[in-house]
Amino acid sequence: MNFLSHLECPRCRQQWPADRTWNTCECGAPLLVRYDLEGARRVLSRDHLASRQADMWRYRELLPVRKEENITTLGEGFTPLLRLSRLGAAMGVELLLKDEGQNPTGTFKARGAACGISRAWELGIRKVALPTAGNAGAAWASYAARRGMECLVVMPEDAPELTKKECSVAGAQVITVPGLISDAAKVVAHYVRSRGYFDVSTLREPYRIEGKKTMGYEIAEQVGWKLPDVIVYPTGGGVGLIGMWKAFQEMKQLRWLEGPLPRMVAVQAAGCAPIVLAHRQGREESDYWAGAHTVAAGIRVPKALGDFLVLQALRASGGTAVAVEDEEILYCVQELAAREGVYVCPEGAACLAAIRKLRERQWLREGETVLLLNTGSGLKYPELVQATVTPHESAS
CB of 15 to Zn ion, least distance (A): 10
CB of 310 to Zn ion, least distance (A): 17
Burial pattern 313-334, b for ≥16 Cβ within 10 A else e, equals: bbeebebbbbbbebebbbbbbe
Residue 309 makes contact with ligand PLP by CB under 6 A: no
Helical (H) or strand (E) element with 249: helix 239-253
Q: Give the span between the Cα atoms of 162 and 345, in whole angstroms.
A: 13
Tell me if 133 sits within 8 A of 106, measured CB to CB.
Answer: no
Strands of 173-177's sheet, edge to edge?
Answer: 173-177, 150-156, 127-131, 198-199
CB of 394 to ligand PLP, least distance (A): 43
Q: Give the span between the Cα atoms of 106 and 99, in whole angstroms.
A: 10
Residue 377 makes contact with ligand PLP by CB under 6 A: no
Residue 76 makes contact with ligand PLP by CB under 6 A: no
Which residues, numbered 209-238, are part of the site for ligand PLP (CB under 6 A)? 234-238
Burial pattern 209-218, b for ≥16 Cβ within 10 A else e, equals: bbbbbbbbbb
Q: Which is nearer to ligand PLP, 313 or 370 (CB)?
A: 313
Q: Which is nearer to ligand PLP, 299 or 332 (CB)?
A: 299
Tell me if 222 sits within 8 A of 78, measured CB to CB.
Answer: no
Q: Give the closest residue to 62 by CA, choosing from 117, 120, 115, 8.
A: 115
Q: Which is nearer to ligand PLP, 234 or 302 (CB)?
A: 234
Q: Which is nearer to ligand PLP, 136 or 188 (CB)?
A: 136
Q: x/- string (CB under 6 A) for ligand PLP, residues 134-173?
A: -xx-------------------------------------
CB of 267 to ligand PLP, least distance (A): 9
Total Cβ atoms within 10 A of residue 252: 12
Per CB under 5 A, the list member of 29, 97, 257, 295 interacting with Zn ion is: 29
Residue 206 makes contact with ligand PLP by CB under 6 A: no
Residues that bind ligand PLP (CB under 6 A): 107, 109, 133, 135-136, 202, 234-240, 298-299, 345, 347, 375-376
